[in-house]
C-alpha cells in the first residue's frame, strides 16, 4: 500500500516559487527575441543571405516553442495551486469529524473517571498547580506551573498507557522545583523535574530572614519501556546586597563661640586682651553628625598684643563637624602687635562613607602704623570614613535527582546541575576628606606675617585623608549536583550524576574617597612681610578590594546504577569558580593650597598635593 503525505502550505509555497521562475524565463525570451529574430545578412552575396535566413528561422521556431512551454508552465502552476487548496479544504473538512470522534470516545471515560482515554493532559495555569494527567490509553502529561513565592513548583502530570510525563514547574523563591510526571505504564519517558526557586536575601532590620534556594525537582520514573526524567537544576543563590552609605541629617550641637572684646575704634585698655577660645562641638555617632566647633572671639585692643581666640575643633560623628574660625585681632595702638587666632580642626567621620569636617579658617590680624601683625593658621580637615562593605552572595541549591528508567529497557535520568552561587554585592565609595582651612591675612605697618609668630610658614590647613572604598562581597558557592537515576533492571544504563554548580562572581571594589584640598596660605601686607605657605592636600583613600569568586559546588552527583545488561552512570563533575571582582580605584588626591602673597617681602609656597589612593586588590 502506498501512502501520500501532503502539506498544503508547502504546496502553495512551491506554486509561488514556480510562478516567479516562469516570469523570469518569459522576460529573458523577450530580450533574446529582439536581437535574434530580425538577423541582418553580413553581406550582399547569396551565402550571407542564406545564413541569415537560417538563423532567423531557428530564432522564430525557438520563440514559438517557448510560447508553448510558457503556456504549459502556467497550467502546471494553476494545477499545483488548485491542489494545495484542495488539500487544505480536505484537511479542514476532516478535522471536525476526527475531533467529534475523539469526543465521543472520551466522553464516557471522562464522565466515569474524570480523565480522557486519548489526549494530552492540560498544562497547569494557577501558581504551583499540577499538570493534568494524559489519557488512559494514549497521551502525555501536562506541565506543572511555576510556584508563587514560598510555594513549590507544580508536579508534571502522569502519562497513561503510552506517553511521556509532564515537566515539573519552577519553584517559587526558596522552594523546590516540581517533580516530573511518570511515563506511560507500557511505554514512555518520565518528565523532567523543575528548577529550584532562587534564594532570597533577608533584611535583619525588618525581621526578614534570608531564604536558601530550592532544590531542583526529581525527574519522573518510567515503568516498562522508557527513560527516567532528568532532575531539575538547583536554584540560584541570592545576590549579595550592595554596600550603602547612610544619609545622616541629624547633627549634634555646635561648640560655644569665644567671648569678644572691644570694637572698631573702641579698643580695650585693660585685660583681657585676648578673645575667648571657641569650644569643641558635641561628638556624634554613626547615626548623628558631629557638631561644629565654636568660633574664636575677636578683640580690639589699645594696648600691646591683642590675640584673637582660637576656633574650637569640630567633633567626630557620622560626618565630621567643621572646625571653628579663629578670632580676628586688631591693635589700635601705634606700636601694638596683633595675633590672629588659629582655626579649629575638622572632625573625623565615623559612619560608613562619611565626609570629614572642614578645617576652620585662621583669624586675621591688623596692626597699623608701626605695628607687627601675625595671621592665625587654618585648621586641618578631618578624615573621611571607609565606605560600607557589601554582602556575600548566597550558595546555590542542590540539583534534583534523575528519575529511574523502566523495568525492561531504558536509561536513568541525569541528575540536575547544582545551582549557581549568587553574585557578591558592590562596596560603597569611601568618604571624602575635609578641606584644610585657609590661614588668616595679616597687615602690619612695620611688619606682617601670614603665619603665627615663632611658627613655620605652613599656615594653610592640611586636607583630610579620603576614606577607603568599601570591600565588596564574595560570590556564593555553587550547589551540589543531583544523583543520576537508575537504568532499567534488564537492559539499561544508569543516568549520569549532575555537575556541581558554578560559583558566583565576586562584587566589584569601590572607589576610595577624594583627599581634602589644602588651605590657602596667609597673605601679608604692610612693611616687611612674609606670606604663609599653603596647606598640604590630603591623600586619596585606597580603593576597595574586589570580592572573591565563589567556589564550585563541593561535588557532582553520583551516577545511577546500570541494569543486568548495562553500565552505571558517570559521576557529575565540578564547575569552575566564580570570577573575582575588579579592584576599586583609589581616591583622587587633594590639591595643595596656594601660598599667601607678600607685598614687599616674599610670598608663601604652594602646598604639596596629596597622593592618589592605592588601587584595591582584585578578588
Burial classification of residue 95, based on how many CB atoms lie within 10 Å of its CB (0-12 exposed, 13-18 middle, 19 or more buried): exposed
The answer, yes or no, to whether residue 164 has pLDDT greater than 80, is yes
DSSP state of 186: S
**Which among 539, 506, 541, 514 has a CA at the least distance from the CA of 615?**
541
Q: Is residue 572 part of a domain?
A: yes
Q: Is residue 338 part of a domain?
A: yes
Q: What is the CATH number of the domain that holds 74?
A: 1.10.287
Most distant CA pair in the chain: distance in Å? Answer: 147
Quickly list H helices, 337-446: none
| Global pTM value | 0.71
DSSP state of 112: H
Of the listed ranges 316-320, 495-499, 538-542, the least confidently predicted one is 538-542
Q: Is residue 434 part of a domain?
A: yes
Q: Is residue 168 part of a domain?
A: no
The answer, yes or no, to whether residue 33 has pLDDT greater than 70, is no
Q: Is residue 346 part of a domain?
A: yes
Scanning the structure block, which residue is given the C-alpha cell 528508567? 405
Q: Which domain holds residue 74?
A: 8-38+50-94
Q: How many domains does the chain have?
A: 2
The answer, yes or no, to whether residue 94 has pLDDT greater than 80, is no
Q: Is residue 260 part of a domain?
A: no
Instruction: DSSP for 20-57, please give it.
Output: HHHHHHHHHHHHHHHHHTTPPPSSSSHHHHHHHHHHHH
The answer, yes or no, to whether residue 26 has pLDDT greater than 70, is no
Length of the chain: 619
Region of 393 (left: φ > 0; alpha: ψ -120 to 50; beta: rest) is beta
The answer, yes or no, to whether residue 3 has pLDDT greater than 50, is no
What's the pLDDT score for residue 30? 64
Band the pLDDT of 377: cuts 50, 70, 90.
very high
**Which residues neighbour 241 within 8 Å (Cβ) at sequence distance 6 or greater?**
201, 390, 391, 425, 473
**Which among 479, 451, 421 has a CA at the least distance from the CA of 601?**
451
What's the pLDDT score for residue 557? 83
Of the listed ranges 100-109, 118-127, 548-557, the least confidently predicted one is 100-109
**Which among 150, 201, 143 has a CA at the least distance from the CA of 171?**
150
The answer, yes or no, to whether residue 282 has pLDDT greater than 50, is yes
Q: Is residue 153 part of a domain?
A: no
Cell representation of residue 170: 519552577
Cell representation of residue 422: 549568587
For residues 425 and 239, give the distance between their C-alpha atoms in angstroms, rounded to a whole number. Answer: 7
Q: Is residue 423 part of a domain?
A: yes
Question: How do the residues of the chain divide into helix, strand and coil, expressed in percent and rounded to 5?
Answer: 15, 10, 75
For residues 293 and 299, give the distance between their C-alpha atoms in angstroms, rounded to a whole number. Answer: 19
For residues 72 and 431, give the distance between their C-alpha atoms in angstroms, rounded to a whole number. Answer: 86
Amino acid at each position: 500500500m502506498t501512502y501520500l503525505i501532503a502539506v498544503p502550505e508547502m504546496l502553495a509555497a512551491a506554486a509561488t516559487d514556480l510562478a516567479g521562475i516562469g516570469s523570469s524565463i518569459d522576460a529573458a525570451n523577450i530580450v533574446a527575441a529582439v536581437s535574434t529574430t530580425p538577423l541582418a545578412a553580413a553581406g550582399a552575396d547569396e551565402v550571407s543571405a542564406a545564413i541569415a535566413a537560417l538563423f532567423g528561422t531557428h530564432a522564430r521556431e525557438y520563440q514559438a516553442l517557448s510560447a508553448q512551454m510558457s503556456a504549459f508552465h502556467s497550467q502546471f502552476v494553476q494545477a499545483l495551486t488548485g491542489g494545495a487548496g484542495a488539500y487544505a479544504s480536505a484537511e479542514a473538512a476532516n478535522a471536525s469529524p476526527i475531533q467529534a470522534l475523539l469526543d465521543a470516545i472520551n466522553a464516557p471515560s471522562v464522565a466515569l473517571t474524570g480523565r480522557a482515554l486519548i489526549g494530552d493532559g492540560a498544562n497547569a495555569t494557577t501558581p504551583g498547580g499540577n499538570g493534568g494527567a494524559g489519557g488512559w490509553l494514549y497521551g502525555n502529561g501536562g506541565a506543572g506551573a511555576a510556584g508563587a513565592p514560598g510555594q513549590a513548583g507544580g508536579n508534571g502530570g502522569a502519562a497513561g498507557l503510552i506517553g511521556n510525563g509532564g515537566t515539573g514547574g519552577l519553584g517559587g523563591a526558596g522552594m523546590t522545583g516540581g517533580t516530573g510526571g511518570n511515563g506511560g505504564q507500557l511505554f514512555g519517558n518520565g518528565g523532567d523535574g523543575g528548577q529550584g526557586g532562587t534564594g532570597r536575601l533577608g533584611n535583619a532590620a525588618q525581621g526578614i530572614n534570608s531564604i536558601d534556594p530550592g532544590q531542583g525537582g526529581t525527574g519522573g520514573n518510567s515503568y516498562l519501556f522508557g527513560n527516567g526524567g532528568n532532575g531539575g537544576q538547583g536554584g540560584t543563590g541570592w545576590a549579595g546586597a550592595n554596600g550603602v552609605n547612610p544619609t545622616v541629617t541629624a547633627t549634634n550641637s555646635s561648640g560655644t563661640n569665644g567671648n569678644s572684646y572691644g570694637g572698631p575704634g573702641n579698643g580695650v585698655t585693660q585685660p583681657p586682651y585676648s578673645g575667648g577660645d571657641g569650644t569643641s562641638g558635641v561628638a556624634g555617632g554613626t547615626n548623628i553628625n558631629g557638631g561644629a566647633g565654636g568660633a574664636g572671639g575677636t578683640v580690639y585692643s589699645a594696648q600691646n598684643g591683642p590675640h584673637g581666640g582660637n576656633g574650637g575643633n569640630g567633633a567626630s560623628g557620622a560626618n565630621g563637624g567643621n572646625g571653628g574660625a579663629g578670632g580676628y585681632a586688631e591693635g589700635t595702638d601705634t606700636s601694638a602687635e596683633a595675633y590672629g587666632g588659629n582655626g579649629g580642626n575638622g572632625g573625623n567621620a565615623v559612619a560608613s562613607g562619611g565626609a570629614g569636617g572642614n578645617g576652620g579658617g585662621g583669624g586675621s590680624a591688623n596692626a597699623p602704623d608701626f605695628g607687627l601683625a601675625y595671621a592665625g593658621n587654618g585648621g586641618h580637615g578631618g578624615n573621611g570614613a571607609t565606605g560600607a562593605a557589601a554582602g556575600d552572595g548566597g550558595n546555590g541549591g542542590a540539583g534534583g535527582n534523575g528519575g529511574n528508567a523502566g523495568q525492561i529497557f531504558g536509561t536513568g535520568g541525569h541528575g540536575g546541575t547544582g545551582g549557581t552561587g549568587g553574585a557578591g554585592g558592590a562596596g560603597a565609595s569611601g568618604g571624602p576628606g575635609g578641606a584644610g582651612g585657609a590661614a588668616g591675612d595679616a597687615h602690619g605697618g612695620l611688619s606682617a606675617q601670614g603665619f603665627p609668630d615663632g611658627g613655620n610658614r605652613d599656615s594653610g590647613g592640611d586636607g583630610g585623608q579620603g576614606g577607603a572604598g568599601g570591600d565588596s562581597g564574595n560570590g556564593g558557592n555553587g550547589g551540589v549536583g543531583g544523583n543520576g537515576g537508575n537504568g532499567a533492571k534488564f537492559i539499561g544504563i544508569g543516568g549520569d550524576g549532575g555537575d556541581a554548580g558554578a560559583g558566583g562572581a565576586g562584587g566589584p571594589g569601590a572607589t576610595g574617597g577624594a583627599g581634602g584640598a589644602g588651605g590657602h596660605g596667609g597673605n601679608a601686607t604692610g612693611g616687611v612681610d612674609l606670606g604663609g605657605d599653603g596647606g598640604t592636600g590630603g591623600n586619596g583613600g585606597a580603593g576597595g578590594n574586589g570580592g572573591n569568586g565563589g567556589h564550585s559546588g563541593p561535588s557532582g552527583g553520583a551516577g545511577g546504577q546500570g541494569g543486568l545488561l548495562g553500565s552505571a552512570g558517570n559521576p557529575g563533575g565540578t564547575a569552575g569558580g566564580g570570577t573575582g571582582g575588579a579592584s576599586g580605584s583609589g581616591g583622587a588626591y587633594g590639591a595643595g593650597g596656594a601660598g599667601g602673597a607678600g607685598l614687599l617681602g616674599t610670598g608663601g609656597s604652594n602646598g604639596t598635593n596629596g597622593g592618589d589612593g592605592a588601587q584595591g586588590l582584585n578578588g
